[in-house]
């Protein structure tokens, strides 16, 4: 009807409108043809994609997964790159179960190269005082991935950045085709605990995302991951990330002091035996992590653990992140393994998306955060092969100053929340903003005036015997 009115009013022919419509369609088609091939594939795939029906535990939904990317023939590849089956790992587990590899100096140099060298830690002792000296170099691929994280970008685009960074550096992205995994890295968003497959879902403001990077270079693997904020994130999720980060730092600090403890207290036989038979045990790392995160009301995942790495992507020892575990083995020089605690807001239990057989989510749909490093046990401590450098993109607490806390709340807190000082990864004395740690209680939008503060102090004194609230 509208077309007929326009024809009569402007005395235009129907052919005029047909030509104009054809021109617009052709122009849109030409614009789409000018897009990069990856973006064209995403657009076409999203048109066809329908999310599978599944009992999802949280708000996250899967999206279209682009085709597997190729790796040039010139790059050295692991044995599973073509067939998807890690033959060397399977053979090792079958013939020498529970044997922990001890690497030679030549092997260690190869692993260092794969890790792109992180941090050398040397220790000097004066009685019980310790001084740390760091020499930092780069671990480029994860830093490149971190630099592209922002609202609106898809995890598939993060995977493209990781894949291209690996190819440019002549290394193979270890996750690609490992037991059939489709991508070059794992991206775990919000309630995903681990092994999230990069897809075409854009990251949203308020999300958190873990990017897990593993590379294979000249016969050796390296592994590390970090969790990042996307845009403006609620404080309780920031605190989850910080506690996950600091729990890893606590475990590493313990691993660094194992041999020092023996040296200092060797004259005390009982202490010597206790440290050798308990502190040397790899299972104790889980005790440290569990005890630390439980102070803040968080829970370590019990299904997945750290692992040995080097010539194989995964091998002994297993490094659980919870207490009362049954890990086998003692820390010995030459061992290389990862510590990668997955810390949940709610329950530790998880569930796998059965339609992709990889994505692990929390059973209650609440969020999870994770950090990971590859470590080498040395004669006098441990060496963190994948540590952050001065050029690494900052984590959230390195960008934001600690929020002011209410003095009354400080008096009623059972424990302090973790330190937000970016320069102190081992010390855990202060707290980030604790007002949003509890979902049931939130802080006021502004600080109270003097009258309100006086009234609060009075109420606090009158109720000083009241049970303290937990963070």
What are 182's two structure tokens? 């489709």
**Residue 223 annotated as lining a ligand binding site:** yes
What are 177's two structure tokens? 């085709």
**Residue 307 annotated as lining a ligand binding site:** yes
Q: How far apart are CA 87 and CA 79, in angstroms?
A: 6
Give the containing element (helix H, strand E) for 258: helix 235-264
* Alpha carbon 264 to its chain's center: 35
Q: How far apart are CA 336 and CA 282, in angstroms?
A: 12
Could you tell me the strand order of the sheet in which 299-300 lies?
299-300, 342-344, 368-370
For residue 115, whether the previous peptide bond is cis, meaning omega lies within 30 degrees of 0, is: no
Q: How far apart are CA 296 and CA 428, in angstroms?
A: 12
Would you say 377 and 255 are in contact if contact means Cβ atoms under 8 Å apart? yes
**Class of residue 162 by CB neighbours under 10 A (exposed 0-12, middle 13-18, buried 19+):** buried
CA distances from residue 399 to 152, 153, 396 in whole angstroms, order as listed:
21, 21, 5
**Residue 357 annotated as lining a ligand binding site:** no
What are 469's two structure tokens? 């609230």
What are 107's two structure tokens? 């092997």
Q: Quick count: other Cβ atoms within 10 Å of Cβ 405?
A: 18
**Residue 212 annotated as lining a ligand binding site:** yes
**DSSP per-residue codes, 394-420:** PPHHHHSPPPP--HHHHHHBSSPPPP-
Would you say 369 and 240 are in contact if contact means Cβ atoms under 8 Å apart? yes
Q: How far apart are CA 254 and CA 238, in angstroms?
A: 25
Would you say 364 and 346 are in contact if contact means Cβ atoms under 8 Å apart? yes
The phi-psi region of residue 153 (left if phi > 0; otherwise alpha if psi is between -120 and 50; otherwise beta) is beta
Q: How far apart are CA 101 and CA 316, in angstroms?
A: 7
Helix axes 155-168, 140-147, angle to 10 degrees: 150
Using the structure block, give the residue that is written with the tokens 């052709």. Answer: 26
**Residue 373 annotated as lining a ligand binding site:** no
* Binding site per annotation, positions: 195, 212, 223, 307, 314, 340, 372
* Binding site per annotation, positions for a divalent metal cation: 212, 223, 307, 340, 372
* Binding site per annotation, positions for substrate: 195, 314
């Amino acid at each position: 009807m509208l077309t007929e009115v326009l024809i009569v009013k402007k005395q235009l022919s129907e052919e005029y409108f047909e030509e104009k419509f054809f021109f617009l369609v052709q122009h849109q088609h030409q614009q789409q043809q000018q897009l990069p091939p990856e973006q064209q594939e995403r657009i076409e795939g999203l048109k066809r994609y329908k999310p599978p029906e599944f009992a999802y535990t949280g708000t996250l939904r899967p999206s279209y997964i682009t085709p597997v990317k190729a790796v040039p023939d010139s790059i050295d590849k692991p044995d599973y790159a073509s067939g998807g089956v890690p033959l060397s790992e399977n053979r090792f587990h079958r013939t020498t179960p529970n044997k922990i590899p001890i690497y030679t100096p030549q092997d260690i140099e190869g692993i260092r190269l794969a890790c792109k060298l992180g941090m050398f830690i040397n220790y000097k002792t004066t009685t019980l005082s310790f001084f740390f000296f760091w020499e930092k170099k780069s671990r480029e691929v994860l830093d490149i991935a971190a630099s592209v994280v922002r609202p609106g970008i898809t995890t598939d685009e993060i995977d493209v950045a990781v894949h291209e960074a690996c190819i440019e550096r002549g290394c193979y992205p270890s996750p690609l085709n490992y037991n059939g995994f489709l991508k070059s890295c794992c991206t775990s968003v919000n309630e995903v605990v681990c092994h999230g497959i990069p897809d075409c879902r854009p990251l949203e403001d308020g999300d958190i995302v873990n990017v897990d990077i593993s590379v294979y270079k000249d016969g050796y693997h390296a592994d590390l991951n970090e969790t990042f904020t996307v845009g403006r994130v609620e404080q309780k999720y920031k605190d989850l990330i910080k506690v996950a980060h600091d729990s890893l730092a606590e475990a590493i600090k313990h691993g660094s002091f194992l041999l020092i403890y023996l040296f200092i207290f060797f004259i005390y036989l009982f202490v010597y035996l206790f440290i050798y038979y308990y502190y040397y045990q790899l299972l104790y790392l889980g005790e440290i992590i569990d005890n630390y995160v439980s102070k803040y009301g968080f829970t370590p995942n019990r299904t997945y653990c750290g692992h040995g790495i080097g010539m194989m992507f995964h091998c002994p020892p297993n490094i659980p992140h919870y207490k009362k575990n049954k890990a086998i083995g003692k820390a010995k020089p030459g061992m290389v393994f990862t510590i990668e605690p997955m810390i949940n807001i709610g329950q530790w239990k998880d569930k796998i998306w059965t339609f992709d057989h990889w994505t692990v989510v929390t059973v209650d749909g609440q969020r999870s955060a994770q950090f990971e490093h590859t470590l080498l046990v040395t004669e006098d401590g441990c060496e963190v092969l994948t540590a952050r450098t001065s050029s690494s993109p900052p984590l959230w607490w390195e960008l934001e100053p600690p929020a002011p806390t209410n003095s009354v709340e400080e008096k009623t807190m059972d424990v302090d929340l973790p330190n937000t000082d970016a320069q102190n990864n081992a010390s855990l004395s202060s707290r980030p903003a604790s007002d949003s740690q509890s979902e049931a209680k939130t802080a006021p939008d502004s600080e109270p005036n003097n009258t309100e503060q006086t009234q609060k102090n009075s109420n606090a004194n009158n109720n000083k015997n009241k049970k303290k609230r937990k963070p």
